[in-house]
Amino acid sequence: MGNFDAFAWNQLISPRPFLAITGTKAASKWYSGDTVAKAKEPKEPLVVDGLTHADLYDNVEVAGPKLNEFFGKYLVQGR
């Protein structure tokens, strides 16, 4: 387990749609950037200016519309 690298498998996310949401001030921002870079389409990054990781939980006005758009676009396809 200590040697497991989940990022080594990012290219296998596809063909499942992938949405990465991060803030420009998030210490974990590199996780999203690295995953988006390695994942194949369909993928959509959303980088919110001036917010940290925790700020995104308290600020649904920013990410909420993108979540609605993304899930509406990809979940409806399966019906």
What residues does 18 pair with on adjacent strands? Answer: 43
- pTM of the prediction? 0.80
- Each residue of 19-77: pLDDT tens digit? 999 999 999 999 899 989 988 899 999 999 999 999 998 888 989 999 999 999 998 76
Residue 14 banded pLDDT, cuts 50, 70, 90: confident
Comparison of pLDDT for 61 and 6, the residue scoring more: 61
Q: How far is CA 40 from the centre of its chain?
A: 13
The pLDDT, as a whole number, for residue 78 is 56
Query: Nearest 5°: CA angle at 62, between 58 and 57?
Result: 20
**Contact (CB, 8 A) for 74 and 17:** yes
